[in-house]
Amino acid sequence: MMTFIWVSLILILLSMLGLMYRVYKGPSIPDRLIALDAIGILIISATALLAIIFDTKFFIEVILLIAIMAFIGTVSFSKFIEKGEIIERDRNR
């Protein structure tokens, strides 16, 4: 069972390397952004596998936080790409 988890972890890291190629190559900004989002998700998996390897429950918060943060990050990037700013001004002020 442990061998399986080890192999999965290495596979995940290798796919992160593949995504790094996408971050580097692009060619467009959204391509890079999707790659970053995917790296975030892969880190979730890696953290979960490491939690099993280390036999600890302390990384559960980390997994939740990565999920939230990767989402926020991706949304803010996307919003920026679409509108040119992240936080819009309240026009009715």
Partner 1 sequence: MNFVFLIFIPIIAALFVPLLYKTIKRIHTGWFVLIVPIVLFAIYTTLLPQTMKGESIVSTLQWIPSMHMNFVSYIDGLSLLFSLLITGIGSLVVLYSIFYLSDKKEQLGHFYVYLLLFMSAMLGVVQSDNVISLYLFWELTSISSFLLIAYWYTNDRSRFGALKSMMITVFGGLMMLGGFAILGIAADTFSIREMIANASTVTSHPLFTMAAVLILLGAFTKSAQFPFYIWLPDAMEAPTPVSAYLHSATMVKAGLYLVARFTPLFASSSTWIWLVMGVGIFTLFWGSFFAVKQTDLKAILAFSTVSQLGLIMSLLGASALTYHSNEAMFAVASFAAIFHLLNHATFKGSLFMVAGIVDLQTGTRDIRKLGGLMSIMPLTFTVAAIGSFSMAGLPPFNGFLSKEMFLDAMLAVRSFELFQFDTWGILFPIIAWIASVFTFIYSMYFVFHTFGKKGDVEALPKAPKEAPTGMLISPIILATLVVVIFFIPNVFGKWLIKPAVLALQPNLYDTPQQIDITIAAWHGFDSMALWMTIGVVAVGTLLYLSMNSWKKIYDAQPERLTLNNGYDALLNFTESGMNKISRSYMTGIIRSYFMYMFAAIAIMTLIAVYVKDAFAFDPNSFAPVTIYAILNGIILVLAISFVLLAKSRMAAFIALGASGYSVALFFVMFKAPDLALTQLVIETVSVALFLLAFQRLPELKNHGETKKNKVANAIIAIGVGFTVMLVALASQSQKLLPSISEYYKETVETLAAGGNIVNVILVDYRGFDTLFEIAVLSIAAIGVYTMIKLRLKGEKKADENE
List of residues contacting partner 1 (CB under 8 A): 9-10, 13-14, 16-17, 20, 23-24, 26, 29, 32-33, 35-36, 39-40, 43, 46-47, 50, 54, 56, 58-59, 61-62, 65-66, 69, 72-73, 76-77, 80, 84-87
For residue 37, give the nearest of 8, 7, 76 by alpha carbon: 76
Measured CA to CA, the distance from residue 59 to residue 51 in angstroms comes to 6
Cβ 1 to partner 1 shortest distance, Å: 17
Cβ 92 to partner 1 shortest distance, Å: 19
Region for 13 from its dihedrals, namely left if φ exceeds 0, alpha if ψ lies in -120 to 50, beta otherwise: alpha
